[in-house]
Amino acid sequence: MTIHVPRIHTVGEKALMAAFEAARPVLPGNAAIGAKRDAALALLRADGLPSRKIEEWHYTDLRTLLRGLPEAGKIEGANPLVKNAIVAATDDEGVVHLSQMHGVSIASMAPAFASGTAEDLMRIDSHSDSVGLISTALAATGFEINVAESVEAAAPIQMNFASQTSLHAINRVTIGAKSKATIIERTHGGGLSSVITDLTVDDDADATFVILQELADDATHMARLTINIGKNAKVMLVVINTGAGLARREIDVTLNGEHTDFRIRGMNLLSGERFNDVTMVVRHIVEHTSSTEFFRNVVTGQGRGVFQGQIRVAAEAQKTDAKMACNTLLLSDSGEFLAKPELEIFADDVACGHGATVTEINKDHLFYLMARGIAADEARALLVRAFVSELVDEIDDEALHDALLDRLAKWLATH
């Protein structure tokens, strides 16, 4: 016999439920999608938000951390990260701008809500899947981007998410076989936002996916990127998190085809009292695939960071070559970074490794720079910039490289 004790909800849970209920009548979607939203609300009401007792949320006690819904933030225009980028933009009210490019179709998610075909993007994977839950309950906008087969996209395609109070987007991006494209996911503004993207990279394709999250320091952001990669493909994911007071970013990657290479280069810059969680799983399920997952974190003030990274190698995935590293530069005594790198290997002929470090600025390096006349503050800034920019240096596209470096430098100069 089970005894049901009514749950006592936290302020954050109550605010979230009220937001779900208020939004429900005006949210898009057919009956099936409506049912999913109702189920999300029911789940939140029954189970609440996950606390540290749930393993996936052990370092990010969402129940305690989400104290309410954040204030509205200011939003900028739909600014392209690189000059020539093709921009698709949305704000709280829905898609505001679409562009077209040869060989690429860029569309609003609105018809997919109406017809119900957006349903598979609205997944709640478990009782503690708060990212899926918040997105499913509130998703109201997003893009469907399809790069056709054998197309080399002439310019980067940027999805722009300008969140004022509440922006919840679901996106489906497909890079066709033998194609080459760069996709940018840029989020700025404030409030509560979520961005869920399903990315499919077909055989022999070469894809670069860039996430730039520059929300206000008091914003709350929930995000998930799911990537499925075919055979003989090359995918590079660049993740830069410089904003949001509370952010959880989930990355779930499956290498489905042989001779595929996947890279993540992630940079988390934490200041003030911001909390940032990156939770990643990379799945090697066939033979002869490789991946590298490198993260660099800079923590100042009372910033707190979490990295949970898992590489899973299935029994069939012989000759997997995977390497993960999470390096943190801790610049203050009151900052914190928790790293939990994990390997789960069932194959016996693989080369896998992981490592995590937390360090201060290297005093020998600082001495060397100062011995050349560079003042202490400037020498420190140079070293911090060097620490993160090393990952950006792997980006071949010069305009994109320079633009990201510029965003990092701007943050470092002001924090």
Q: Which two tokens stand for residue 46?
A: 């029954």
**Closer to another protein at the Cβ: 177 or 383?**
383
Element (H, E) at 39: helix 31-47
**Closer to another protein at the Cβ: 186 or 380?**
380
**Closer to another protein at the Cβ: 11 or 375?**
375
The CA-based angle 18-119-240, given to 5 degrees, is 75
Q: Rounded to 5, what percent of the chain is helix, strand, coil?
A: 25, 40, 35
**Closer to another protein at the Cβ: 32 or 376?**
376
CA distances from 175 to 88, 103, 181, 282 (A): 16, 11, 7, 19
Residues pairing with 356 in the sheet? 326
Sign of the dihedral defined by the CA atoms of residues 213, 218, 219, 220, in that order: positive
**Closer to another protein at the Cβ: 235 or 388?**
388
Q: What are phi and psi of 253, to 5 degrees?
A: -120, 135
CA separation for the pair 96, 341 (Å, rounded): 40
**Closer to another protein at the Cβ: 19 or 409?**
409
Residue in 102, 104, 167 with CA at minimum distance from that of residue 134: 167
CB of 366 to another protein, least distance (A): 9
CB of 368 to another protein, least distance (A): 4
CA distances from 212 to 197, 223, 348 (A): 14, 12, 37
CB of 371 to another protein, least distance (A): 5
CB of 205 to another protein, least distance (A): 30
**Closer to another protein at the Cβ: 224 or 296?**
296
* Contact present, 257 and 290 (Cβ < 8 Å): no
Q: Which two tokens stand for residue 17?
A: 């439920």
* Contact present, 221 and 213 (Cβ < 8 Å): yes
**Closer to another protein at the Cβ: 102 or 363?**
363
**Closer to another protein at the Cβ: 197 or 297?**
297
CB of 238 to another protein, least distance (A): 16
* Distance, first Cα to last Cα, the chain: 56
CB of 367 to another protein, least distance (A): 6
Residues pairing with 192 in the sheet? 166, 220
CB of 389 to another protein, least distance (A): 5
The DSSP bridge pattern shows strands 261-270 and 180-189 to be unpaired
Sign of the dihedral defined by the CA atoms of residues 387, 393, 394, 397, in that order: positive
CB of 296 to another protein, least distance (A): 10
Site of interaction with another protein (CB under 8 A): 363-365, 367-376, 378-379, 382-383, 385-390, 393
CB of 297 to another protein, least distance (A): 15
* Amino acid identity, position 128: S
CA separation for the pair 39, 32 (Å, rounded): 11
